[in-house]
Amino acid sequence: MQRPEPLSSCLQYPVTSGVAMIAIVATSGWGLGGDIEPFTINALAFSSQPWRLVTATFFHADVIHLLFNLYWLWVFGTLVERVFGQARTLGLILLLAVGSNVAEYALFWGGVGLSGVGYGLFGLLWVLGRRDRRFWGAVDLPTAQLFVGWFFLCIVLTVTEVLPVANVAHGSGAVLGVMLGWAIAARSASQRLPRAGLLAVCLALIVVGGTVARPHVNLADAAGADLADQADLVLGQGNPHRAIELYHRAIAANDQEPRWWHNLGVAYERIDRFEDARHAYQRAVELAPYNTDYRDTLQNFNRCFGAIEGSGLQPGAVSPNEAAKH
């Protein structure tokens, strides 16, 4: 492995140093009790809040996690920045961050940390170190053994529930890095274009997996949870129509969660769609028959809805909640 640059040269590598500094500040803020929810990946990342695709990578669970990732970011990142320059290095880091973050989210819950970027730079330099003399010795045998060994150790720690690790981010980052290196090392356009095309297809599949295909590929039954959370948020903000859309998408991914059905009933009730609300409340009770809150909601709704029907009012003239006040 090439000797790392001294830390005193940080100003010569503004991209690598800047990413490291953001990670230090973000992790420190989290450690002091800051709320990182607006920066983690969820369904909003693909619509109105695209920064979530990147920002989750800056947060780290603890000091050891942070220091490990920053060390390898510095070792690999400064070398890449010295050879490729600032703009290309920034592009590479963003691609690896987004790709590894979305891949983890597609298959599980999503994670935090720069590990996907670190493994991506490792994969990139593992390829380029054998094809480009500017990178000779960037990844030697002990370094490769460390990264491979750490990858499988993290899988064991996750499976045994000793420590949850974003292993998909590690693996996908490494694969993307290898593909990037393979494309960059091409000796002609006739080689580079198909290799770059294969990389683009891989990235497209990752994005599809994190969006429309997530209910079908997610291994943690998490596909609907973030949608339901967003539905809760917009319902609380007074937008029941949007909440209904999100609850239906969540239920399409997992129709066995009673809370989502109950809250869907609340949303329907707020726009005076009483039959739809009753169906949703009934479904919640069917899924959780011993939950007294769901049973009480359904009983109160039926009593109020019956009052509306008995009064001769047309559905939509007044809500059950308003009827209960008279």
Interval 80-125: pLDDT, tens: 999 999 999 999 999 999 999 999 999 998 899 999 999 999 999 9
> What does the alpha-carbon distance between residue 287 and residue 166 come to, in Å, rounded to a whole number?
32
Interval 270-280: pLDDT, tens: 999 999 999 99
Give CATH for domain 7-214: 1.20.1540.10
Three-state SS sequence of 156-195: HHHHCCCCCCCHHHHHHHHHHHHHHHHHHCCCCHHHHHHH
- Supply the pLDDT for residue 320: 44
**Residue 312: exposure state from Cβ atoms within 10 A (0-12, 13-18, ≥19):** exposed
Each domain of the chain, given as residue ranges in start order, spans: 7-214, 225-323
Residue 310 has pLDDT above 70, yes or no: no
Whether the Cβ atoms of residue 171 and residue 122 lie closer than 8 Å to each other: no
- Supply the pLDDT for residue 230: 83
- Supply the pLDDT for residue 326: 33
- Supply the pLDDT for residue 86: 97
- Supply the pLDDT for residue 323: 40
Q: How confident is the model at residue 306 (pLDDT cuts 50, 70, 90)?
A: low
- Supply the pLDDT for residue 187: 85
Largest CA distance in the chain: 86
Q: How confident is the model at residue 322 (pLDDT cuts 50, 70, 90)?
A: very low
Give CATH for domain 225-323: 1.25.40.10
Residue 43 has pLDDT above 90, yes or no: no
- Supply the pLDDT for residue 324: 41
| Average pLDDT value for residue range 17-42 | 95
Interval 280-300: pLDDT, tens: 999 999 999 999 999 999 999
Whether the Cβ atoms of residue 284 and residue 259 lie closer than 8 Å to each other: yes
The tokens for 178 are 């290898």
> What does the alpha-carbon distance between residue 250 and residue 222 come to, in Å, rounded to a whole number?
10
- Whole-prediction pTM value? 0.81
Residue 314 has pLDDT above 70, yes or no: no
The number of angstroms, rounded, from the C-alpha of 3 to the middle of its chain's C-alpha atoms is 34
Residue 308 has pLDDT above 80, yes or no: no
For the chain, give me the number of helices (H) and strands (E)?
Answer: 15, 0
Interval 7-29: pLDDT, tens: 999 999 999 999 999 999 999 99
**Residue 219: exposure state from Cβ atoms within 10 A (0-12, 13-18, ≥19):** exposed
**Residue 267: exposure state from Cβ atoms within 10 A (0-12, 13-18, ≥19):** buried
Interval 213-268: pLDDT, tens: 988 898 887 778 888 888 998 899 999 999 999 999 889 888 999 999 999 999 99
Interval 134-177: pLDDT, tens: 999 899 999 999 999 999 999 999 999 898 899 999 999 999 99
- Supply the pLDDT for residue 222: 78
